[in-house]
Protein backbone atom coordinates (compact mmCIF):
# COMPACT_ATOMS: atom_id res chain seq x y z
CA UNK A 1 0.00 0.00 0.00
CA UNK A 2 1.41 3.36 -1.00
CA UNK A 3 0.41 6.21 1.35
CA UNK A 4 0.85 8.67 -1.51
CA UNK A 5 -2.26 7.13 -3.03
CA UNK A 6 -4.32 8.72 -0.25
CA UNK A 7 -4.72 5.64 1.93
CA UNK A 8 -7.29 6.00 4.70
CA UNK A 9 -6.75 4.88 8.30
CA UNK A 10 -8.91 4.70 11.40
CA UNK A 11 -6.98 4.90 14.67
CA UNK A 12 -8.80 4.29 17.94
CA UNK A 13 -7.50 5.66 21.21
CA UNK A 14 -5.89 8.40 19.13
CA UNK A 15 -6.01 11.08 21.80
CA UNK A 16 -2.93 9.96 23.72
CA UNK A 17 -0.09 7.49 24.04
CA UNK A 18 0.49 4.87 21.37
CA UNK A 19 -2.63 5.83 19.44
CA UNK A 20 -1.52 9.44 19.18
CA UNK A 21 2.01 8.48 18.14
CA UNK A 22 0.75 6.12 15.41
CA UNK A 23 -1.83 8.63 14.14
CA UNK A 24 0.78 11.38 13.88
CA UNK A 25 3.25 9.05 12.14
CA UNK A 26 0.60 8.16 9.56
CA UNK A 27 -0.54 11.74 9.07
CA UNK A 28 3.01 12.99 8.58
CA UNK A 29 3.68 10.36 5.93
CA UNK A 30 0.70 11.01 3.70
CA UNK A 31 -2.17 9.05 5.18
CA UNK A 32 -5.62 10.47 5.84
CA UNK A 33 -6.64 9.49 9.37
CA UNK A 34 -9.90 9.30 11.27
CA UNK A 35 -9.02 9.90 14.92
CA UNK A 36 -11.29 8.12 17.39
CA UNK A 37 -11.42 8.62 21.14
CA UNK A 38 -13.60 9.63 24.06
CA UNK A 39 -12.57 13.31 24.08
CA UNK A 40 -12.69 15.44 20.94
CA UNK A 41 -10.33 18.02 22.42
CA UNK A 42 -7.48 15.50 22.79
CA UNK A 43 -8.14 14.21 19.27
CA UNK A 44 -7.84 17.76 17.97
CA UNK A 45 -4.55 18.10 19.86
CA UNK A 46 -3.32 14.99 18.03
CA UNK A 47 -4.37 16.45 14.67
CA UNK A 48 -2.53 19.68 15.48
CA UNK A 49 0.74 17.75 15.72
CA UNK A 50 0.52 17.13 11.95
CA UNK A 51 -0.67 20.48 10.60
CA UNK A 52 -2.03 20.43 7.10
CA UNK A 53 -2.64 16.67 7.06
CA UNK A 54 -6.08 15.25 6.31
CA UNK A 55 -7.69 14.18 9.58
CA UNK A 56 -11.12 13.75 11.10
CA UNK A 57 -11.82 13.73 14.85
CA UNK A 58 -14.75 11.54 15.92
CA UNK A 59 -15.81 11.18 19.54
CA UNK A 60 -16.10 7.42 20.04
CA UNK A 61 -16.69 5.03 22.91
CA UNK A 62 -15.55 1.79 21.29
CA UNK A 63 -17.65 -0.29 23.69
CA UNK A 64 -20.85 1.20 22.20
CA UNK A 65 -21.94 -0.31 18.87
CA UNK A 66 -23.72 2.87 17.83
CA UNK A 67 -20.56 4.93 18.36
CA UNK A 68 -18.46 2.50 16.33
CA UNK A 69 -20.97 2.46 13.49
CA UNK A 70 -21.03 6.25 13.50
CA UNK A 71 -17.21 6.37 13.42
CA UNK A 72 -16.96 4.27 10.28
CA UNK A 73 -19.89 6.01 8.62
CA UNK A 74 -18.22 9.38 9.21
CA UNK A 75 -14.90 8.08 7.91
CA UNK A 76 -16.41 6.74 4.71
CA UNK A 77 -18.47 9.88 4.21
CA UNK A 78 -15.35 12.05 4.52
CA UNK A 79 -12.71 9.88 2.84
CA UNK A 80 -14.62 7.33 0.77
CA UNK A 81 -13.14 4.07 2.10
CA UNK A 82 -11.08 2.45 4.89
CA UNK A 83 -7.67 0.91 4.15
CA UNK A 84 -6.42 0.45 7.71
CA UNK A 85 -7.81 0.04 11.20
CA UNK A 86 -5.33 0.37 14.05
CA UNK A 87 -7.37 -1.23 16.83
CA UNK A 88 -5.66 0.47 19.73
CA UNK A 89 -8.16 1.74 22.30
CA UNK A 90 -7.68 0.06 25.66
CA UNK A 91 -7.39 0.39 29.40
CA UNK A 92 -5.30 -1.37 32.02
CA UNK A 93 -7.97 -1.10 34.69
CA UNK A 94 -7.23 -0.80 38.41
CA UNK A 95 -3.65 -1.81 39.17
CA UNK A 96 -2.45 -3.56 42.28
CA UNK A 97 -5.80 -5.21 43.03
CA UNK A 98 -5.77 -8.91 43.99
CA UNK A 99 -8.11 -11.17 42.02
CA UNK A 100 -10.45 -11.73 44.95
CA UNK A 101 -10.89 -7.98 45.44
CA UNK A 102 -11.40 -6.91 41.83
CA UNK A 103 -14.93 -5.47 41.45
CA UNK A 104 -16.96 -7.01 38.69
CA UNK A 105 -17.65 -3.52 37.33
CA UNK A 106 -13.92 -2.97 36.89
CA UNK A 107 -13.51 -6.35 35.15
CA UNK A 108 -16.45 -5.57 32.86
CA UNK A 109 -15.09 -2.14 31.95
CA UNK A 110 -11.75 -3.60 30.86
CA UNK A 111 -13.43 -6.38 28.87
CA UNK A 112 -15.87 -3.95 27.23
CA UNK A 113 -13.06 -1.62 26.17
CA UNK A 114 -10.20 -3.96 25.30
CA UNK A 115 -12.05 -6.93 23.85
CA UNK A 116 -15.60 -5.97 22.96
CA UNK A 117 -14.42 -2.63 21.59
CA UNK A 118 -11.76 -4.29 19.48
CA UNK A 119 -14.32 -6.73 18.10
CA UNK A 120 -16.85 -4.01 17.28
CA UNK A 121 -14.26 -1.91 15.45
CA UNK A 122 -12.88 -4.91 13.58
CA UNK A 123 -16.38 -5.97 12.60
CA UNK A 124 -17.21 -2.52 11.26
CA UNK A 125 -13.90 -2.34 9.40
CA UNK A 126 -14.41 -5.85 8.00
CA UNK A 127 -17.86 -4.93 6.66
CA UNK A 128 -16.50 -1.83 4.97
CA UNK A 129 -13.38 -3.50 3.57
CA UNK A 130 -15.33 -6.47 2.22
CA UNK A 131 -17.81 -4.26 0.39
CA UNK A 132 -15.63 -1.47 -0.95
CA UNK A 133 -14.03 -1.24 -4.38
CA UNK A 134 -11.23 -2.14 -4.60
CA UNK A 135 -11.94 -4.72 -1.95
CA UNK A 136 -9.75 -5.33 1.07
CA UNK A 137 -7.70 -3.56 3.69
CA UNK A 138 -5.69 -4.20 6.85
CA UNK A 139 -6.48 -4.45 10.55
CA UNK A 140 -3.68 -4.19 13.13
CA UNK A 141 -4.66 -5.06 16.69
CA UNK A 142 -2.68 -3.60 19.57
CA UNK A 143 -1.98 -6.59 21.76
CA UNK A 144 0.64 -6.42 24.49
CA UNK A 145 3.39 -8.60 25.81
CA UNK A 146 0.68 -9.40 28.36
CA UNK A 147 -0.90 -11.37 25.52
CA UNK A 148 1.92 -13.83 26.26
CA UNK A 149 3.08 -13.28 29.85
CA UNK A 150 1.15 -11.45 32.58
CA UNK A 151 2.22 -8.97 35.17
CA UNK A 152 1.15 -9.59 38.77
CA UNK A 153 -2.37 -8.44 39.63
CA UNK A 154 -3.44 -7.77 36.05
CA UNK A 155 -6.06 -10.47 35.51
CA UNK A 156 -8.57 -8.38 33.52
CA UNK A 157 -6.00 -6.75 31.24
CA UNK A 158 -4.13 -10.01 30.67
CA UNK A 159 -7.29 -11.99 29.93
CA UNK A 160 -8.40 -9.46 27.31
CA UNK A 161 -4.99 -9.35 25.66
CA UNK A 162 -4.85 -13.13 25.42
CA UNK A 163 -8.32 -12.98 23.86
CA UNK A 164 -7.12 -10.39 21.35
CA UNK A 165 -4.65 -12.93 20.00
CA UNK A 166 -7.51 -15.29 19.25
CA UNK A 167 -9.46 -12.44 17.67
CA UNK A 168 -6.47 -11.61 15.48
CA UNK A 169 -6.06 -15.19 14.29
CA UNK A 170 -9.76 -15.65 13.53
CA UNK A 171 -10.05 -12.34 11.71
CA UNK A 172 -6.91 -13.12 9.72
CA UNK A 173 -8.29 -16.47 8.61
CA UNK A 174 -11.78 -15.18 7.79
CA UNK A 175 -10.42 -12.16 5.93
CA UNK A 176 -8.32 -14.10 3.42
CA UNK A 177 -10.99 -14.47 0.71
CA UNK A 178 -11.61 -10.71 0.72
CA UNK A 179 -8.08 -9.31 0.76
CA UNK A 180 -8.33 -8.34 4.44
CA UNK A 181 -4.97 -8.79 6.17
CA UNK A 182 -4.99 -8.88 9.98
CA UNK A 183 -1.98 -8.75 12.28
CA UNK A 184 -1.08 -7.87 15.86
CA UNK A 185 1.63 -5.80 17.47
CA UNK A 186 2.63 -6.71 21.02
CA UNK A 187 4.26 -3.80 22.80
CA UNK A 188 6.33 -3.70 25.96
CA UNK A 189 7.09 -0.54 27.94
CA UNK A 190 6.63 2.18 25.35
CA UNK A 191 7.06 5.52 27.13
CA UNK A 192 3.54 6.95 27.54
CA UNK A 193 1.47 8.35 30.39
CA UNK A 194 0.05 4.85 30.92
CA UNK A 195 3.53 3.41 31.55
CA UNK A 196 5.06 6.32 33.46
CA UNK A 197 5.05 4.31 36.70
CA UNK A 198 7.37 1.74 35.12
CA UNK A 199 10.32 4.08 35.43
CA UNK A 200 9.77 4.66 39.14
CA UNK A 201 8.80 1.16 40.16
CA UNK A 202 6.64 -1.72 38.93
CA UNK A 203 5.57 -4.81 40.83
CA UNK A 204 7.62 -7.84 39.78
CA UNK A 205 6.68 -11.51 39.87
CA UNK A 206 8.85 -12.09 42.95
CA UNK A 207 6.94 -9.44 44.89
CA UNK A 208 9.61 -6.76 44.65
CA UNK A 209 9.01 -3.31 43.18
CA UNK A 210 11.66 -2.29 40.66
CA UNK A 211 12.04 0.39 37.97
CA UNK A 212 11.93 -0.81 34.38
CA UNK A 213 13.41 0.65 31.20
CA UNK A 214 11.13 2.10 28.55
CA UNK A 215 11.49 2.84 24.84
CA UNK A 216 10.47 5.75 22.66
CA UNK A 217 6.85 5.41 21.55
CA UNK A 218 7.94 6.69 18.12
CA UNK A 219 9.64 3.34 17.54
CA UNK A 220 6.28 1.64 17.99
CA UNK A 221 4.66 4.07 15.56
CA UNK A 222 7.26 3.36 12.88
CA UNK A 223 6.71 -0.37 13.31
CA UNK A 224 2.96 0.00 12.88
CA UNK A 225 3.49 2.08 9.75
CA UNK A 226 5.79 -0.59 8.33
CA UNK A 227 3.12 -3.22 8.93
CA UNK A 228 0.45 -0.94 7.44
CA UNK A 229 2.33 -0.15 4.24
CA UNK A 230 3.04 -3.71 3.18
CA UNK A 231 1.10 -4.84 0.09
CA UNK A 232 -1.98 -6.82 1.05
CA UNK A 233 -0.30 -9.93 -0.31
CA UNK A 234 2.09 -9.74 2.67
CA UNK A 235 1.25 -9.64 6.36
CA UNK A 236 3.12 -9.31 9.64
CA UNK A 237 0.99 -11.73 11.62
CA UNK A 238 2.61 -10.93 14.98
CA UNK A 239 5.29 -8.41 15.90
CA UNK A 240 6.81 -7.84 19.34
CA UNK A 241 8.43 -4.47 20.05
CA UNK A 242 9.76 -3.84 23.54
CA UNK A 243 12.31 -1.97 25.57
CA UNK A 244 15.43 -4.08 25.10
CA UNK A 245 16.33 -4.48 28.76
CA UNK A 246 12.88 -4.79 30.30
CA UNK A 247 12.25 -7.92 32.40
CA UNK A 248 10.08 -9.78 29.90
CA UNK A 249 12.19 -12.63 28.52
CA UNK A 250 12.59 -14.64 31.70
CA UNK A 251 9.87 -12.75 33.55
CA UNK A 252 9.06 -14.56 36.77
Which residues are known catalytic residues?
157
Sign for the pseudo-dihedral over CA of 95, 101, 103, 107: positive
Dist. CA 78–CA 180, nearest whole Å:
22
Beta bridge partners of 102: none
Closest CA to 184 of 222, 142, 219, 245: 142
Query: How far is CA 244 from its chain centroid?
Result: 21
DSSP 122-180: HHHHHHHHHHSSS--EEEEEE--GGGTSPPTT-HHHHHHHHHHHHHHHHHHHHHGGGTE
**What stretch of H or E contains 184?**
strand 180-188
**Integer angstrom CA distances of residue 47 from 64, 151, 159, 180:** 24, 33, 32, 27
Neighbours of 12 (CB within 10 A): 28
Amino acid sequence: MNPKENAIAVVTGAGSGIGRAVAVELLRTGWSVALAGRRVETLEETAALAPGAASLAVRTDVSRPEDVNALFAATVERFGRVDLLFNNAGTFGPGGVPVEELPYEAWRHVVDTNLNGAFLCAQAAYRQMKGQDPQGGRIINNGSISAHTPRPQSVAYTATKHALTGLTKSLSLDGRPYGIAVGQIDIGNAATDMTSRMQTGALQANGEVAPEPVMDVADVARTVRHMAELPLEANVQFATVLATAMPYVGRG
